[in-house]
Structure 1
Amino acid sequence: MQDTEAALDSEACFKLKGSRVTMTILELYRYDYQSFNDALSSTVSSAPDFFQQTPVILSLEKCPAQDFIDFIELEELCREYGMVPVAVRGGSEEQIVSANVAGLPSLPPASIASKSNEPASESAVTIREVEIEVEVPVSANKVITTPVRSGQQIYAPGGDLVVMAPVSAGAEILADGNIHVYGPLRGRALAGVKGDNSARIFCQSLEAELISIAGNYKVNEDLQGSLWKQAIKAELEGDQLIISPL
């Protein structure tokens, strides 16, 4: 008995193995809540049992790069109909970052994955280990001088984002570094999206739907205190998102 226990203790508690798994693809051409909900309802009603607890990959390769997608809302809709989004494939840099913020990792586009000799399928994809050459963007700040409208998404990879105008409700601004808004901030602002705990958010008037630093966030209800509609700075102290007067 003791020899058996000793053998178990000496073994690793898990092992990572590569394998090929067939996955269902949900190919997205455009996204708005009502159209997507209606189309998904119609599709699932034809074979409801098939879609229960079905993992899916969201393909963005035919979705316009400028389209804003609320991936949190999209995930919730999919789960209502039994589908479980596990990753996105393709998409613009802004869409990929927005998906990552919602907890969805990104896969290489089909043009990379299809370099094997196996034919691609319209309804499924074979996941395999793929060696990808990644180009690291040069650190640079981005300056926006025009208002950020509802439905727009702006991302500053590798640097700070400076907005010299208002950010409307329904808009989303993201940066790997700090965010500066020289006007009312009414949409969503996410700084340090790749995990930079030292990132900060500055704005002239706090009216945001959500602010987040390195994944630590506060929503509108949490923000409506004594500093609402005031000039503020937001920063992390440990895991706490602290807002103070600017």
Structure 2
Amino acid sequence: MSTDNQTTAYNPPVLEFKSSSFSVPALILSGNELKAIEQQLQEKIKLAPEFFKNSPVIIDLKELTKQHLDIDIALITEITRKLGLLPIGIRGGSLQQNKNALALRIPVYSNSSNRTNPVETQKTIPATQITEDVNPSKEAASSKAMIITQPIRSGQRIYAQGDLIILAQVSAGAEILAEGNIHIYGALRGRALAGVQGNTDARIFCTHLQAELISIAGNYKISEDLTKNIYNKPVHIYLKDYTLVIKEL
């Protein structure tokens, strides 16, 4: 009588798929004149070059679809790439635009996707509008201020049309932008850009400065520029003669 002691070898999995959410800027097109789009997009990027550098972006076509306006998917993706953005998909397009995007190996996202929670600014820009897809579960936004109560995680990007108030920390690798002031009641370890529409009166306040980058109206400093006497301390940041001033509170 014999027994078979042969066992099947166990091969541990080397990968897995998980549902996840992450923050990606959305480029909303409200006109199809490519020259105007390129010009206005270039002007917007100049306001916060560090933020948009190599940034992934979703091209949102829903406004064009509402107006029955067409746009060449290949050309608009070429424009965004030329300006340093990395288009990772489109949404809101027509059936033909979706087919064209897939032919170019560009993903098509559904407007009703439950994997992101888009929070879009209401200010209209004639040819282009850039908004942020963010995922904090609790936030309140108004035309004057956006208030976020949860930590901003690495990889998240937040855009506020007015002031931005964060009642938690901003992790390394996270980026926050505001057309007005920024208030952070926690550690700032990521990037903070205030006055991104050119508001030189904008200010940044935080209780623990450990930033990778701080900027007001395009004038910025990186972590290497921060001196030891202000590092990890509560500070007030503002512009004076187009130079960033950092004062301990």
Which structure 1 segments of 5+ residues have no match? 1-64, 70-85, 91-95, 126-134
Instruction: Answer yes or no: is the 8 Å Cα contact 2:47–2:198 preserved in 1.
Output: no
Give the alignment partner of residue 168 of structure 1, picking from 171, 181, 184.
171
**Rounded Cα–Cα distance in structure 1 between residues aligned with 2:39 and 2:230:** 37
* TM-score of the pair, normalised by structure 2: 0.50
Q: Secondary structure at the match of 2:236?
A: strand
Aligned to 1:224: 227
Give the alignment partner of residue 124 of structure 1, picking from 75, 80, 89.
75
Instruction: Answer yes or no: is the 8 Å Cα contact 1:89–1:109 preserved in 2.
Output: no
Instruction: Answer yes or no: is the 8 Å Cα contact 1:203–1:233 preserved in 2.
Output: yes
**Rounded Cα–Cα distance in structure 2 between residues aligned with 1:243 and 1:153:** 23
- How has the CA–CA distance of structure 1 residues 123 and 150 changed in structure 2, closer, same or farther, with 3 Å as cutoff? same
Residue 124 (structure 1) shift:
3.2
Amino acid at match of 1:166: Q
Give the alignment partner of residue 206 of structure 1, picking from 200, 205, 209.
209
Instruction: Answer yes or no: is the 8 Å Cα contact 2:47–2:218 preserved in 1.
Output: no
Aligned to 2:159: 155
Q: Secondary structure at the match of 1:124?
A: helix
- How has the CA–CA distance of structure 1 residues 230 and 120 changed in structure 2, closer, same or farther, with 3 Å as cutoff? closer
Q: Secondary structure at the match of 1:167?
A: coil
Q: Deviations over 1:39-72 (max 9, x none)?
A: xxxxxxxxxxxxxxxxxxxxxxxxxx95336xxx
Q: Deviations over 1:162-185 (max 9, x none)?
A: 111111000011111111111110
**Rounded Cα–Cα distance in structure 2 between residues aligned with 1:152 and 1:99:** 21
**Rounded Cα–Cα distance in structure 2 between residues aligned with 1:122 and 1:177:** 34
Give the alignment partner of residue 102 of structure 1, picking from 40, 43, 49.
49
Amino acid at match of 1:67: S
- How has the CA–CA distance of structure 1 residues 120 and 210 changed in structure 2, closer, same or farther, with 3 Å as cutoff? closer
Q: Deviations over 1:200-232 (max 9, x none)?
A: 000001100000000000000001331111110
Matching of residues 19-30 of structure 1 within 5 Å: none
**Rounded Cα–Cα distance in structure 1 between residues aligned with 2:227 and 2:214:** 12
Amino acid at match of 1:68: V
**Rounded Cα–Cα distance in structure 1 between residues aligned with 2:40 and 2:244:** 32
Aligned to 1:68: 24
Q: Secondary structure at the match of 1:221?
A: helix
Instruction: Answer yes or no: is the 8 Å Cα contact 2:47–2:197 preserved in 1.
Output: no
Instruction: Answer yes or no: is the 8 Å Cα contact 1:88–1:99 preserved in 2.
Output: no
Aligned to 1:238: 241
Instruction: Answer yes or no: is the 8 Å Cα contact 2:148–2:166 preserved in 1.
Output: yes
Instruction: Answer yes or no: is the 8 Å Cα contact 1:147–1:167 preserved in 2.
Output: yes
**Rounded Cα–Cα distance in structure 1 between residues aligned with 2:159 and 2:73:** 31
Which structure 2 segments of 5+ residues have no match? 1-20, 26-36, 77-121, 125-141
In percent, how many aligned pairs have the same letter?
43
RMSD of aligned alpha carbons = 3.9
* TM-score of the pair, normalised by structure 1: 0.51
**Rounded Cα–Cα distance in structure 1 between residues aligned with 2:64 and 2:24:** 25
